[in-house]
Amino acid sequence: MEVNVKNSNNIISRIYPGSIAEELEIEVGDLLISVNGEKVKDIIQYRFLTDDEYIELEIQTKSGERVVYEIEKDYDEELGLEFTNPIIDKAKSCRNKCMFCFIDQLPKGMRETLYFKDDDSRLSFLQGNFVTLTNMSEQDIEDIIRYRISPINISVHTTNPELRQRMITNRFAGRLYSIMERLAEAGITMNCQIVLCPGVNDGKELERTITDLSNLYPNVNSVAIVPVGVTRYRDHLPHLEIFNEKTANEALDLVEGLQEKCLEKFGSRFAFMSDEFYIIAKREIPDYDSYEGFLQFEDGVGMIRKLGTEIVNYLDELPDDYDVREKTVSIATGKSAYEFINSMAELIMKKFPQVKINVYRIVNEFWGETITVSGLITAQDIIKQTEGKERGETLYITRSMLKADELIFLDDVTLEQLEEILGNEVVPCENEGHDFVDKILK
């Protein structure tokens, strides 16, 4: 029976050069039907089924003909196919109503994709997204175990079942720990996140959560603790406090005490606080080795220490007569990273005096001044707050201000549009020392 291509998620969009698929003359626009007789429902199942040394691949060509290919290959060797829908299925949306959800704090009128809340374990494995495990069927859990979806990133917040139900507003939220025990028993690796809310899941609740999670070590590999973000668009949402110097220091003291116990027991600190806590607490960020390979870097854990160390080391490697022309440039950054970025700019200018760098602290007027991270800065705030200031020939920003797969800010302004409005070249920098220094100098 011919499958309706128009309504299918598994249309082939790309054939890798030199791949098995190219050798078999499979074409873009063909349709994947099955692997080893099993209808492929998502990308995880596809990867699992195509790992074997011998597989039978059923394809429907653009002309409607069905062809079965018998393929012998190396174990884990990829076929070389990509699909128009990267997960070969519709992403599962989140049915929770978390008291701290950032998406619920978005203003009206933004692009539609920003309002989609995913809670899909497949995206956790493929893209590093965090999932709550509350929207999963028994079959979903069995699939994780069968297909060895590992590592999986889990939004925990608390292991207290009643408190988790209240924080997430989902009657199934209290099942979390029993699911995690099953995953650990199956050998699945998990990285966890806690969004810490003052007076809700901190203090004794935080101690309980970290202790419970540590009982699943090493399958629970690490825990990142990040402070709740509160925007000015919280109408009709529960009241939440934000961290101040006192409460941030209290949280750091508690976690550092637990880190010492975990280090003694496991040889790992296990739980790590995001950089924001140290900035709010006006406290020195831990040294490079304390982050144990930066397991939760994307959660802002150790980002400043890693980037700073890389910049310092790279500047030391560069000769004093390194070919750098005289120029003036600028950097736009958020409140929390301003002091750090300013200090890095000073180091560059000290080594290369011919380069003048203006660093501008961008206050987040779009979301509200309580949002201080650089990744949530909008183009309109950059435009307004650098107007009339010396931007030089190039303005540098962090790549995290832009949508992951597009050069567009959260307020729908493209990078090209920002350049046109400012009359400046605008260059995104990765959170990597070589990239940061090279782009500024060259």
> Does the pLDDT of residue 120 top 60, yes or no?
no
> Does the pLDDT of residue 438 top 80, yes or no?
yes
Question: Residues 398, 279: contact at Cβ < 8 Å?
Answer: no
> Does the pLDDT of residue 335 top 90, yes or no?
yes
Question: Domain holding 262: CATH number?
Answer: 3.80.30.10
Residues 27 and 141 in one domain: no
Asked if the structure places residue 90 within a domain, the reply is no
Closest to 251 in 3D by CA, of 305, 192, 196, 191: 196
Residues 355 and 281 in one domain: no
Q: What is the pLDDT of residues 365-380, one digit of tens each?
A: 999 999 999 999 999 9
Q: What is the pLDDT of residues 391-429, one digit of tens each?
A: 999 999 999 999 877 789 989 899 999 999 999 999 999
Asked if the structure places residue 94 within a domain, the reply is no
Cα distance between residue 87 and residue 102, in whole Å:
25
Cα distance between residue 358 and residue 263, in whole Å:
41
Integer CA distances (angstroms), 61 to 4, 6, 239, in order = 12, 13, 56
- Between residues 338 and 136, the one the model is more confident about: 338
Residue bearing tokens 């070389």: 80
> Does the pLDDT of residue 220 top 50, yes or no?
yes
User: pTM for the whole thing?
Assistant: 0.83
Q: Please, where are the H alpha helices in 215-269?
A: 245-266
Asked if the structure places residue 66 within a domain, the reply is yes
Name the DSSP letter for residue 219. T
> Does the pLDDT of residue 91 top 80, yes or no?
no
Domain boundary among 301, 336, 363: 301
Domain boundary among 284, 301, 318: 301
Asked if the structure places residue 97 within a domain, the reply is no
Cα distance between residue 359 and residue 346, in whole Å:
10
Integer CA distances (angstroms), 181 to 146, 288, 377, in order = 16, 32, 39
Asked if the structure places residue 378 within a domain, the reply is yes
Q: What is the pLDDT of residues 228-241, one digit of tens each?
A: 988 888 877 888 99
Residue 331 parent element (H or E): strand 327-334
Domain span including residue 256: 103-301
Question: Residues 43, 113: contact at Cβ < 8 Å?
Answer: no
pLDDT of residue 7: 44
Residues 323 and 220 in one domain: no
The type of residue at 412 is D
Asked if the structure places residue 343 within a domain, the reply is yes
Q: What is the pLDDT of residues 11-23, one digit of tens each?
A: 999 999 999 999 9
Residues 21 and 57 in one domain: yes
CB count in 10 Å sphere of residue 289? 8
Q: Please tell me the total count of domains within the chain.
A: 3
Residues 49 and 118 in one domain: no
Question: Domain holding 428: CATH number?
Answer: 3.40.50
Residue 89: which pLDDT band, with cuts at 50, 70 and 90? low
Average pLDDT, the chain: 90
